[in-house]
Chain A
Amino acid sequence: MCEVRMSDIHFSYNNNVAIDNISLTISQGDFVAVVGPNGAGKSTMLKIMAGLIKPTRGQVMIGGKDMATAKGHGLIGYVPQNYGKNAMGFPATVKEVVALGLTLGSAAAKKNRQAAKHITSHMMELVGLEQLQDRRIGELSGGQQQRVMVAMALAANPELLLLDEPTSGIDYEASNRIYELLGTLNKNLGITIIMVSHDIEKAVSYANKVACINRKLCFFGTSQEFDATHAQVRHLWYYTG
């Protein structure tokens, strides 16, 4: 079970309110697109879910565990914005980085070298990087680096995948492949996905739920409901918050 329940979440950086009273419940197996203008608090919300920052007020429960007390959830895979702070020029091969994912997960796979090897190569196959496994990640394109980070997160066998703008700065073809990949992971492996995206049309077409935030939660519902709302209303969410 990996239900995400946020209740009355509030967060401010010093005196700057980034998240204002957001409550929402994401069910197991959902694929949620989080959309909103720049500076709306999307990354902040994702970090709160991941347990990286503690909300000023409110409670986050993931899979029935309170994130305020849970030390390392084990079920959560997090793919940060800009695919890893130091990924540029990082002297590690794709294979090495994906294998690092095993460090994140439960101990079982780490102990068994054979199993570890198998999982690593399976994950690279899943994201279509098996041909590049001996290349250094610093020498890959943005889309390829992003897929490495997804594969690393997957190697930990997460039930919930949090991704922060996985397609920013990536060309059309490559971002399509990432969306396809996430859709497949969600459908075939039942992984709950919460993805921040600036590419609304595309994200909404792959996701089954949409959360539109601008400090507050402006909309939370199914993609169909989101599509049905009038463009004028969406404009209002976007620019007045």
Chain B
Amino acid sequence: MEFFQYDFIQRALLAGLITGIVCPLIGSFVVVRRQSLIGDGLGHIAFAGVTGGYMVGLYPVVGALILTVTGAVGIELVRRRHTEFADMGLAIFFYAGAAMAIIFSTMTRMPSTGLLSFLFGSIITVTIADVITIACAGSLVLAVVYFLFDKLMLMSLDEDIANVAGINTGMINMLFSILTAIVVVVGMTIVGILLVSALMIVPVATAHLLRVGFKATMGWAVVFSMSSVLIGLTSSFYLDVAPGGTIVMTAILLYIIMTLVRQCIALKERREDPILSSPGNK
């Protein structure tokens, strides 16, 4: 296949597959912690980081990393203080990010092709430096999730139980928020800021349809996510469109297919169930 022979494709695939692993790993916890919109909030802050970084002459990924991690710390501090209106606090960070991005990008007159590649994702602009950054950040995320897995899972189920056991939930929540920020920045290059959060949520939603255990759900989410990245990147290349759209559309198609499969199984089970299918039993 000529596709795999291009250097830029190889770089994009590598970056994309790492993204495809870490997004649903973090997303599995994000979903059960009822924080599905946090990725979007952080994405807008990352956009402000890219444009702000450009303004002061920083490598955009570094600019995004600094501002997004700062934002994640802020979001977690607000969440801790206002547990009952946590999503309102998140919304304010979301808007602050978007507002700053508008200010910075219009001040610096950043070329719109550059802007669009960050918003929509890109396969041709991935540099070696990007791949190395993504690989390092991805390994960090993997390591932390591996070592804190049980604690994160328990805290997602009930934080009080974890507190009674002496688990430092404040520290772990903060760390998790920062990890989420890192994943958003990792995903920004390939999937783009607008849709990076979708890769954290949609494959996990598809995996939930399988009704398997926690670890299995996570494993399947990674499978769905990596398939979406592979199919999405390939079609992005042949259709000559930005990869963010094709990757996420693939993920959503997988979700729809899985929903239909589930419906069929449920119908079949009902038909084979002698009690449910007997006449007069509704």
Q: How far is the CA of A128 from the CA of B142 in the complex (A)?
A: 36
Contact yes or no, A72 B164, CB < 8 A: yes
Report whether B159 and A103 are in contact in the complex, using a CB–CB cutoff of 8 Å. no
Question: A73 to B214, Cβ gap below 8 A?
Answer: no
Known: A100-B153, A103-B151. A91 touches B165 (CB 8 A): no
- CB-defined A-B contacts under 8 Å, sample of 26: A50-B164, A51-B164, A52-B164, A72-B165, A72-B166, A72-B167, A74-B165, A85-B157, A85-B158, A86-B34, A90-B32, A90-B156, A91-B208, A92-B153, A92-B157, A100-B150, A100-B157, A102-B150, A103-B154, A103-B167, A104-B154, A104-B161, A136-B212, A136-B213, A139-B211, A152-B161
Q: Which residue of the partner chain, among A78, A92, A93, A97, contacts B160 with CB atoms under 8 Å?
A: A78
> Assuming A86-B32, A91-B213, A93-B214, is B160 touching A71 (CB within 8 A)?
no
Q: 5 shortest A-B CB distances, which residue pairs? A: A72-B166, A92-B214, A104-B165, A93-B213, A103-B150
* A84 sits at the interface (CB 8 A): yes
Taking each of B151, B153, B157, B166, which has the highest tally of chain A beta carbons within 10 Å of its own beta carbon? B157
Give the distance to chain B from A137, nearest Cβ to Cβ, in Å: 9
Q: How far is the CA of A85 from the CA of B160 in the complex (A)?
A: 9
Q: Chain A contacts of B158 at CB under 8 A?
A: 80, 84-87
B108 near A: Cβ within 8 Å?
no
A134 and chain B: residue at smallest CB distance: B213
Contacts A78-B160, A84-B161, A93-B213 known; 19 new A-B pairs at CB < 8 A: A71-B166, A72-B165, A73-B164, A79-B161, A80-B160, A84-B157, A86-B34, A90-B32, A90-B214, A91-B32, A91-B211, A93-B212, A96-B213, A96-B215, A97-B157, A100-B157, A104-B154, A104-B164, A153-B161
In the complex, whether B163 has a CB less than 8 A from a CB of chain A is yes
Q: Is A76 an interface residue (CB 8 A)?
A: yes
> Which residues from chain A contact B165 at a C-beta distance below 8 Å?
72, 74, 103-105, 156
Most chain A CB neighbours (cut-off 10 Å) among B34, B158, B211, B214:
B158
Query: For the complex, what is the distance from the CA of A93 to the CA of B212, rounded to whole Å?
Result: 7
Chain B residue at smallest Cβ distance from A93? B213
> Closest B-chain residue to A49, C-beta based?
B164
Residues of B within 8 A of A77 (CB): 164
Could you say which residues of chain B place their CB within 8 Å of the CB of A134?
213
Q: What class of interface size applies to chain B in its complex with A? A: 20 to 34
In whole Å, how far is A25's beta carbon from the nearest beta carbon of chain B? 21
| Chain B residues within 8 Å of A, Cβ to Cβ | 32-34, 150-151, 153-154, 156-167, 208, 211-215, 217
Closest chain B residue, CB of each to CB of A85? B158
Name the residue of chain A whose CB is nearest to the CB of B155: A86
- Chain A residues with CB under 8 Å of B162's CB are 104
Q: How far, in angstroms, from A104 to B211 measured CA to CA in the complex?
A: 26
Once the chains are docked, how many angstroms separate the CA of A77 from the CA of B154? Answer: 14
Q: Is B157 touching A78 in the complex (CB atoms < 8 A)?
A: no
In the assembled complex, the Cα of A83 lies from the Cα of B166 at a distance in Å of 19
Assess A80 versus B213: contact at CB under 8 Å? Given A73-B166, A91-B32, A100-B153: no
Alpha-carbon gap, A86 to B214, bound state (A): 13
- Taking CB atoms, residues of chain B closer than 8 Å to A50 are 160, 164
In contact, A52 and B154 (Cβ under 8 angstroms): no
Contacts of A156 in B (CB 8 A): 165
- The CA-CA distance from A60 to B35 in the complex, in Å, is 35
Question: Which residue of A is nearest B215, CB measured?
Answer: A96
> B164 contacts A76, CB within 8 Å?
yes
A93-B154 Cα distance, complex, nearest whole Å: 13
Q: Which chain A residues lie closer than 8 Å to B167 at the CB level?
A: 72, 103-104
- Do A91 and B164 touch (CB < 8 A)? no
Chain A contacts of B159 at CB under 8 A? 85
Verify B161–A80 contact, CB threshold 8 A.
yes
Closest CB of chain B to A4's CB: distance in Å? 14
User: A180 vs B175: C-alpha distance in the bound complex, in angstroms?
Assistant: 42
Residues of B contacting A87 in the complex (Cβ-Cβ under 8 angstroms) = 157-158
Q: Which residues of B contact A78 (CB under 8 A)?
A: 160-161, 164
Q: Specify which chain A residues have a CB less than 8 angstroms from the CB of B157 in the assembled complex.
A: 84-87, 90, 92, 97, 100
